[in-house]
Structure 1
Amino acid sequence: MLHVLRTEGARVLMRKLHRRLSNQALAAKGPPTLLRLAEPFTPIVFPDAAAPSISVIIPVQRSLRSIHHCLAALVHMETRTPFEVILAADLDDDRAWRLRRYPGVRLIQSAPGTTLPQRLNQAAQRTRSALIAFLSDDTQVQPGWLDTLVQTFAETADAGIIGSRLLYPDGRQHGLGWRIDAQGIPHPLGHLADPEHPACNYRRPVAACSLTALAIRADLFHQIGGFAPEATTPETLAIYLAQRVWEQGHRVYCQPLSRVVWFRTEDRQVPLDPTPLSYPLPLYRPSLSIPAQRLRVLVVDNYMITPDRESGSLRMLNLFLILQRLGYQVTFAAANLEAPQPYVAELQRQGCEVLYRPYVRSLADHLAKQGARYRLVILSRADAASQTIEAARRYCVGARIIFDTVDLHFLRESRLATLLGDRGMRLLAEARKRQELALMRQADLTWVVSEAERAILAAEAPDVPVQVVSNIHRIFGSANPPAARRDLLFIGAFSHPPNRDAVCFFCDQVMPIVRRYLPEVRFQVIGADPPPEILTRAGDGVELLGHVPDVAPFFANCRLSVAPLRYGAGVKGKINQSLAYGVPVVATSVAVEGMHLVNGESVLIADTPEGLAEAVIRLYQDDALWERLSQAGIEVMERHFSFDAAERTLRSALALETAG
């Protein structure tokens, strides 16, 4: 605690104490939202979607009451996704004339005697979207059902089919898809398991999903010929469809955050138990569609990652995505096992298991019980590593343990001590150095974010194996030319002391010079929870914007960004983020350390107030210089900080074979 107080301040100490002690638990989802509508039923009105993103096909099989409730739930599900609804019925179905009165619903009728797979295939031929969802008419979808499916397809390039979690009306879990054994016998997954348990709440590959609620890419559905005509039950329809999707090189996933209540009875009160599929499937080839067992990696960080708030979290999220591409199943835990939303759900939606209380009492307890399942353990930042590394060594037998420094804390703290001339702070930095070096020697491998930090460790601890795994960013490029841009931008978490110092320094010593020559320019500052010393500097061209969930519009319109850090360590995400959007940067030499940037070619560097102001004014007024720095910055990002660059680095760091 003294360490945090001296190096980060009382305000940060109080926030960290509150966060550790409050230990925000997972917010339970509660019972499903159910509609109970009285007759006579008023026809449901669906909005006309000129360009639907997904088509929802519902085979007409049950009573009008059941169908009406199913349609009403679709209207009430609070979706942002444009969709169309198609009802698939027989020509002689006496419910059809009633359903024609539902505005916005398309009714596709087939000849009498048409089988269920034929009827569904005919309806699918009439869709107008890139995705098709099949939904049973004895269901009620839950809020977010459709948005989650569509977003999961967008995030999961190899997904061919995505199925929803099925719930009983009382909230108990019905299932999470099927696994199929070597004899071709299907087994339901997750039946009656606790729906709040970490193991039941992340996207995962399955052999097949229930036809009750699944979605598929439309082009893939047509490519494989739709549903197999020889399948005679909804279960075999779904399983044979999944088999052909696997054969085409795509995966089948269950997405538990997409929830659907399945009634399976006309009285809508008592759910039936699932019929066990205890027979082999005659046409099923099990070797083709059983998902291979994935390698498991456990990642522990100080707190829940918040990618929209700080650079280290964004790096960690992108690291997870690359680990998944390399075949790892990621399990993440905050050292205090907190579970704040929406961050937990965002990780789960993208396929990461998240550990949290009360299901995990402590990380040591979890590792004692399940440590053997992990092949890789990544301990991020010194404090989380010091709490966990002993248990990881004891229980994760055979696992490779990596200490991910994020930045060298002792280097940052030593630089702060030098800046302030504080002997006591220097002693704390020395203590931090001993801690970090000890952790490095306990781990199998240490990750740093720059060659500059690897060089420091080569001198300080030549016996320690070190690899560089730097920041990871998507490259967006410039949205607007320089003439269409204005103002200066700074982005950074104020919980990080160097950012507070940088903003105060820039406001006090640099902006007055800049405003003398550019009186209309504004300095826009993005960062959550600005402390009092930042708040007092608002005005006179300084705009404090607080937390901004979507920063893209600011990078699209600002003329340049600044990184006036006077101390710190690691690679600065604020510079990466700006360069990824094609926005040139004016920065100090400390800020660009280890970033492969060259003064005058890909960045402008200065360390004095006068030098920083001159660089800002010059870049603000010179369009040709702006264009040159913008393009060079994007090239640096693609070469050193892109997903492809990070994947190459991780393959090397984890000694994986290069993909052929």
Structure 2
Amino acid sequence: MNQIKKLLIIGFVWPEPNSSAAGGRMMQLISIFKQNGFEITFASPALDSDFMVDLSESGVKKVSIELNNSSFDDFIIELNPDVVLFDRFMIEEQFGWRVSENCPKAIRLLDTEDLHCLRTARQKAFKENRVFELHDLLSEEVAKREIASILRCDLSFIISEFEMKILKDVFKIDSGLLYYLPFLVYEMSEFDLLKLPLFEERRNFVFIGNFLHEPNWNTVQYLKETIWPLIKKQFPEAVLEVYGAYPSQKVLQLHQPKNGFFIMGRAADANEIVKNAKVVLAPIRFGAGLKGKLLEAMQCGTPSVTTTIGSEAMHANLSWNGFVTDDTELFAKKAIELYHDEKLWKQAQKNGVAIVNECYQLSKYSTALIAAINSLLNDSESHRLQNFMGSLLQHHTLKSTKYMAKWIEAKNKN
């Protein structure tokens, strides 16, 4: 009989699938491991939140852990996991050395979520009003930390094919350390579109996004100051509803009902809101990874208008479910066209179904993922022998991070 394998996930935060795409992705991963017989423990140093998912409903044990505290060593020795999944590189920095020291045989996986150094470098270039170049990444402080974390792990999940290319071409990472894993959803058919609200039943433009994420705040500012006035000029009755978790005061101040610009706050059910909207607007100017809001729009049969960065690595060579443009005038024009033209709108819907099935099909990726992890479990030694840079970094990080953490722990006790 096969022995049950233990998976420990160490989370940066507790999953909030209704607040962010990152929360949704984590629940997708949990579901895949659960269906393949893993016994899962989810640990995090984060405080509980009102909107975190109840992990026990998914059969996952929840454990609170502390940063810079040797109590984690006792916890992981007792748990003795076969696989450890770090949620974002910052968590690997904090706990990776402890895992390596106390459970050296455990397979170490990293879910990058998106390339933080890419998002940071693009944001910097945007704020400095210059064009982002790939070589900008090489001077990013966060890149050095993030790449070191990828090298220390046995396998890193990369959500975007564009980011896979960057890691191989710019940072020269061995492809054996990288695993392409986009968002994973169920297959759709055009029959599914018939169950959704019809063109004539839908109302309003919508934007949705977590406001703790800087690109989302920037997008809403851009909508309010630049794009929305162009839409209102040509379509005076237009209404835009902006939803998002954790809106700050500066976000709430953009609420302007007389101008058809509504800040709605957190969405009780994002899916329901997007399903009843006519067009999603997402003029994203910097960021990285894949945009969960745009995949959700496709699943809800809601066409979208976005930018090159918004659609980046999201649709293979297939036609977008709406329009992609970086030109503000054209953005407004296409948004209005999609809103009024039923034939155009329905074709965009069908494009979305094709993208979902081609690029994000759960069955296409989940079996291969588990096979890759089982392969690592069966032969981790030779895999690690081929990753000399990783073992070198592991050696030095273990020493430096270990003594820094022990110094902090001692300081906290005094």
CA distance, structure 2, for counterparts of residue 653 and residue 489 of structure 1: 39
1:350 is the counterpart of 2:58: yes
Q: Does the alignment pair 1:592 with 2:311?
A: yes
Alignment partner, residue 500 of structure 1 = 217
Look up the equivalent residue of 1:294 and give its one-letter code: I
Determine whether 1:308 maps to 2:18: yes
Q: How does 1:423-442 map to 2 (within 5 A)?
A: 430-442=140-152
Deviation at 1:652, TM superposition (A): 4.8
**What root-mean-square deviation, in Å, do the aligned CA atoms of Structure 1 and Structure 2 show?**
2.6
Is 2:359 the partner of 1:640?
A: yes
> Which of 24, 28, 37 is matched with 1:327 structurally?
37
| Residue among 516, 519, 542 paired with 2:233 | 516
- Given that 1:413 and 1:429 are in contact with CA atoms closer than 8 Å, whether structure 2 keeps it comes out as no
- Is 1:605 equivalent to 2:324 in the alignment? yes
Percent identical pairs in the alignment equals 25
**Separation of aligned partners in 1, 2:105 and 2:322:** 45
Higher relative contact order (CA 8 A, sep 6+): 2
Tell me how far 1:303 sits from its aligned partner.
Answer: 1.1
Partner of 1:468: 180
* Contact 1:493-1:527 within 8 A present in 2 as well: yes
Q: Secondary structure at the match of 1:654?
A: helix
Q: 2:41, 2:329 → 1: CA distance?
A: 48
2:299 to 577, 580, 586: 580
Amino acid at match of 1:323: F
Cα distance, 1:450 vs. partner? 1.1
The structural deviation recorded for 1:551 is 2.1
Task: State the 1:430 CA deviation.
Answer: 0.9
1:319-468 equivalence runs, <5 A: 319-334=29-44, 336-340=45-49, 343=52, 346-356=54-64, 364-370=72-78, 373-421=80-128, 430-464=140-174, 465-468=177-180
> Quick one: structure 1 residues 339 and 428, their matched pair in 2 at CA, closer, same or farther if it must change by over 3 Å?
farther
Report the Cα offset of residue 633 of structure 1. 0.7
The 3-state SS of whatever aligns with 2:6 is strand
1:484 maps to which residue? Answer: 201
Partner residue in 1 for 2:282: 563
* 1:513/1:640 CA distance change after superposition, 3 Å: same
Per-residue deviation at 1:557? 1.5
* Distance in 2 separating the partners of 1:588 and 1:643: 26
TM-score (ref. length: structure 1): 0.52
Q: Between Structure 1 and Structure 2, how many residues are aligned?
A: 362
User: What CA deviation, in whole Å up to 9, does each residue of 1:73-116 have, x standing for no partner?
Assistant: xxxxxxxxxxxxxxxxxxxxxxxxxxxxxxxxxxxxxxxxxxxx
Which secondary structure does the structure 2 equivalent of 1:590 belong to?
helix
CA contact (8 A) 1:523 1:543 kept: yes
Equivalent pair of 2:305/2:323 in contact (CA under 8 Å): yes
Which of the two has higher C-alpha Rg?
1
Q: 1:498–1:463: structure 2 CA closer, same or farther, 3 Å change rule?
A: closer
Residue 545 of structure 1 aligns with which residue?
264
Gaps of 5+ in 1: 1-286
Retained in 1: the 8 A contact 2:298–2:321? no
Give the C-alpha shift of residue 543 in structure 1: 1.0
Q: Which has the higher strand share?
A: 1
Q: What TM-score, normalized by structure 2, do the two folds share?
A: 0.81
Pair 1:422–1:626, CA change in 2 (3 A): closer
User: Is residue 473–residue 577 contact of structure 1 (8 Å, CA) maintained in 2?
Assistant: no
Q: Say if 1:601 and 1:546 are closer, same or farther in 2 by CA, change over 3 A.
A: closer
Relative distance call for 1:599 and 1:613 in structure 2 (3 A) is farther
Q: Deviations over 1:124-173 (max 9, x none)?
A: xxxxxxxxxxxxxxxxxxxxxxxxxxxxxxxxxxxxxxxxxxxxxxxxxx
The whole-number CA distance in structure 2 between the counterparts of 1:614 and 1:653 is 46
Paired with 2:243 and 2:327, the residues of 1 have a C-alpha distance of 23
Supply the distance in 2 between the matched residues of 1:363 and 1:427 (Cα, whole angstroms): 37
How far is the alpha carbon of 1:646 from its aligned partner?
A: 3.6
Q: Give distance in 2, aligned partners of 1:456 and 1:390.
A: 26
Instruction: Tell me: CA distance 1:556–1:422, structure 2 relative to 1, closer, same or farther (3 Å).
Output: closer
1:354 & 1:646 partners in 2: Cα distance? 27
C-alpha deviation, 1:474, in angstroms: 4.8
Moved over 4 A (4+): 360-363, 425-429, 474-477, 597-601
**CA deviation after TM superposition for structure 1 residue 601, in Å:** 4.4
Give, in whole Å, the separation in 1 of the partners of 2:163 and 2:105: 28
Instruction: In structure 2, give the amino acid aligned to 1:318.
Output: Q
Partner deviation per Cα, 1:462-504 (whole Å, 9 max, x = no partner): 3432111111335674412212212111110000000000010
Q: Give yes or no for contact 1:406–1:449 (8 Å, CA) kept in 2.
A: yes
The change in CA–CA distance for 1:411 and 1:626 in structure 2 (over 3 A counts) is same
C-alpha distance in 2 between matches for 1:516 and 1:628 = 26
Contact conserved, 1:403 with 1:443, CA < 8 A, in 2? yes
- Summarize the Cα distance change of 1:390–1:493 in structure 2 as closer, same or farther, 3 Å threshold: same
* CA distance in structure 2 between the partners assigned to 1:506 and 1:597 by the alignment: 27
* Contact map agreement 1:414 1:429 (CA 8 A) in 2: no
Q: Whose helix fraction is larger, Structure 1's or Structure 2's?
A: 2
Q: Distance in 1 between matches of 2:375 and 2:301?
A: 33
CA shift digits 1:178-232 (9 cap, x unpaired): xxxxxxxxxxxxxxxxxxxxxxxxxxxxxxxxxxxxxxxxxxxxxxxxxxxxxxx
